[in-house]
């Protein structure tokens, strides 16, 4: 992005993040709600496709990060460097890579739960309640990373919890009903709210049971802006898994072996393009493979004819640049593991019969592919925001996304927004911004 300065890239990345956050839930909701239940595409296959595309994107980014910005390599040399980069990491640091299988499984389940929530919740409710991941992330950060939160952040978490609770109050419940339920004395007699009153003639006179149609209507009114209890539980579980996976991934990054380019022989310029990890075993076969890697590395350097001046440039690579390599390498591991595990367990075991009967891409349409692409691009967009912006602006983008999703939901899905939902959403927006200001 040489033709744009850092300030322009920052605001462009923030704008793209707002569009991505708003479009993902809206299009996901539309792709699930605009068709009949028997015409729904399989969420498991969509998640696998998204993780597969994310793997390819991580490979593309890594191919640009394995060499310093001043080094220009051809397509063949870049491909060879990438293959050697991945093979060295697999041989030298495979125990660390296997640890990423845990957050990969958590993210895999979380992504499937997002489709469940989008099926049963309207976009506005899902966007607001999904901010509960801030609370779960803070909880796991304190318990697992022993991180301390400021008083302002604890206040934001409290407001966030209250706002989400208000957003889940039924549409037909008024503020007077809330005050009455809070201040009235508890009794053992169960009463039916006037808004939920069922005419006597609708009861089955033999069993005094509520007809199924009225049961469905009453169930839909239980969570107000949400259309099903299953959707709320899916969001709750997804937020919990998101917080746990994010904190665990951060812990792995902090405990990962550091790079030491100086440990390579200075005679090989391509050696500076590759990360060096501490040896994890002393087996002779393992040492032999490392030696063969060094031979291949030297031969590749001679074949690609990297200029000798690149040694000086490569020796001055900053630690931040090396951290970006490690970050995208770990993202590659997670997306690859998620795609493989999702293909085996979610698609093969859970939906194997449906896939064999109707096909892997059954009931796919243009909106399905839009969701897959937008979800895969999310990691790239967040990486740009983290690089060029800060948490305050990122939280501000989240707030704008909530507003956009709520407004479009009213127009597109004919969602009725209650006053309690507006108050709750406002608290969530304020708490999100307040939590980012540290």
Q: Which of 80-89, 131-140, 190-199, 389-398 has the lowest mean pLDDT?
A: 190-199
Q: Which residue has the higher pLDDT, 307 or 331?
A: 331
Would you call 36 exposed, middle or buried from its count of C-beta atoms within 10 A (0-12, 13-18, 19+)?
exposed
Say how far apart CA 58 and CA 153 lie, in whole Å: 33
Instruction: Find out whether 168 and 225 touch, Cβ atoms under 8 Å.
Output: yes
Answer whether 0.85 is exceeded by the pTM: no
Q: What is the pLDDT of residue 391?
A: 65
Instruction: Please tell me the distance from the alpha carbon of residue 215 to that of residue 279, in angstroms, as a whole number.
Output: 63
Q: Which tens digits make up the pLDDT trace of 348-376?
A: 999 999 999 999 999 999 999 999 999 99
Measure the CA–CA gap between 432 and 399, rounded to whole angstroms.
Answer: 7
Beta bridge pairs of residue 226: 121
Place 416 in a pLDDT band, splitting at 50, 70 and 90. confident
Which pLDDT band, with edges at 50, 70 and 90, does 420 fall under? confident
- Averaged over 138-158, what is the pLDDT? 91
DSSP secondary structure string for all residues of 153-206: HHHHHHHHHHHHHHHTS-TT--HHHHHHHHHSPP-S-----GGG---GGGS-TT
Q: Give the start-to-end residue ranges of the domains of the chain.
A: 44-183+210-257+315-355+417-436
What sign has the CA pseudo-torsion 36, 234, 377, 410?
A: positive
Poorest-pLDDT segment among 154-158, 239-243, 289-293: 289-293
Q: In this predicted model, what pLDDT tens digit does every residue of 75-114 receive, in sequence order?
A: 788 888 888 888 888 778 788 788 888 999 999 999 999 9
> Tokens in use for 196?
């939920």
113-135: pLDDT as tens digits = 999 999 988 888 899 999 999 99
Q: Where would I find the H helices in 342-418?
A: 352-358, 366-388, 391-412
């Amino acid at each position: 992005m040489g033709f744009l300065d850092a300030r322009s890239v920052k605001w462009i990345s923030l704008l793209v993040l707002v569009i991505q956050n708003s479009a993902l839930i809206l299009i996901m909701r539309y792709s699930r709600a605009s068709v009949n239940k028997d015409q729904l595409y399989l969420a498991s296959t969509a998640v696998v496709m998204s993780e597969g595309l994310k793997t390819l994107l991580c490979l593309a980014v890594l191919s640009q990060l394995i060499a310093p910005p001043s080094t220009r390599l051809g397509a063949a040399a870049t491909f060879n460097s990438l293959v050697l980069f991945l093979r060295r990491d697999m041989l030298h640091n495979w125990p660390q890579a296997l640890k990423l299988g845990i957050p990969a499984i958590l993210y895999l389940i979380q992504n499937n739960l997002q489709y469940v929530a989008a099926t049963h919740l309207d976009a506005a409710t899902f966007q607001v309640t999904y901010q509960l991941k801030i609370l779960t992330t803070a909880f796991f950060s304190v318990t697992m990373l022993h991180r301390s939160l400021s008083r302002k952040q604890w206040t934001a978490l409290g407001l966030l919890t209250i706002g989400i609770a208000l957003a889940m109050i039924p549409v037909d419940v008024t503020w007077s009903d809330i005050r009455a339920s809070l201040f009235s004395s508890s009794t053992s007699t169960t009463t039916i709210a006037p808004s939920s009153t069922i005419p006597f003639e609708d009861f089955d006179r033999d069993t005094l049971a509520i007809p199924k149609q009225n049961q469905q209507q009453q169930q839909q009114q239980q969570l107000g802006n949400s259309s099903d209890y299953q959707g709320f539980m899916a969001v709750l579980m997804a937020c919990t898994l998101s917080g746990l996976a994010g904190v665990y991934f951060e812990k792995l990054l902090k405990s990962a072996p550091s790079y030491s380019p100086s440990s390579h022989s200075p005679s090989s310029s391509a050696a500076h393009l590759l990360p060096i990890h501490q040896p994890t075993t002393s087996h002779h076969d393992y040492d032999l493979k490392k030696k063969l890697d060094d031979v291949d590395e030297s031969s590749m350097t001679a074949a690609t004819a990297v200029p000798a001046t690149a040694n000086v440039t490569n020796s001055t690579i900053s630690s931040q640049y090396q951290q970006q390599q490690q970050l995208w390498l770990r993202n590659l591991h997670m997306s690859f593991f998620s795609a493989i595990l999702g293909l085996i367990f979610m698609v093969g075991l859970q939906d194997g019969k449906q896939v064999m009967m109707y096909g892997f891409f059954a009931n796919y349409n243009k909106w399905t592919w839009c969701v897959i692409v937008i979800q895969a691009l999310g990691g790239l967009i967040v990486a740009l925001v983290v690089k060029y912006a800060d948490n305050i602006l990122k939280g501000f983008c989240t707030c704008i996304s909530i507003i956009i999703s709520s407004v479009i939901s009213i127009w597109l899905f004919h969602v009725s927004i209650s006053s309690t939902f507006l108050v709750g959403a406002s608290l969530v927006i304020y708490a999100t911004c307040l939590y980012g200001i540290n």
